[in-house]
Amino acid sequence: MFGIALSAFILVFGIFLKLTKNQGFASSKRFAWLFIILGIITLVGRIIILNQKGEL
């Protein structure tokens, strides 16, 4: 379950980076799509693995 929470946090952080107008995150905005894609792939993978194991 920790993996699901962590991947959801990565996804939300990527969306935050994409939408923020704060100048403090200006240098990190180029990584927004990386975090979004990584979060989606990890979240889907975790759900599939937990579903196959019967733990979900």
Residue 56 pLDDT exceeds 80: no
Number of domains in the chain: 1
Q: What is the pLDDT of residues 2-49, one digit of tens each?
A: 889 999 999 999 999 999 988 888 888 888 999 999 999 999 999 999
- pLDDT higher for 27 or 52? 52
The whole model's pTM is what? 0.83
Q: Which residue has the higher pLDDT, 56 or 8?
A: 8
By the 10 Å C-beta count (0-12 exposed, 13-18 middle, 19+ buried), 44 is classed as exposed
Q: How much is the pLDDT for 26?
A: 83
The Cα–Cα gap between 30 and 46 comes to: 26
Give residue 47's domain range: 1-53
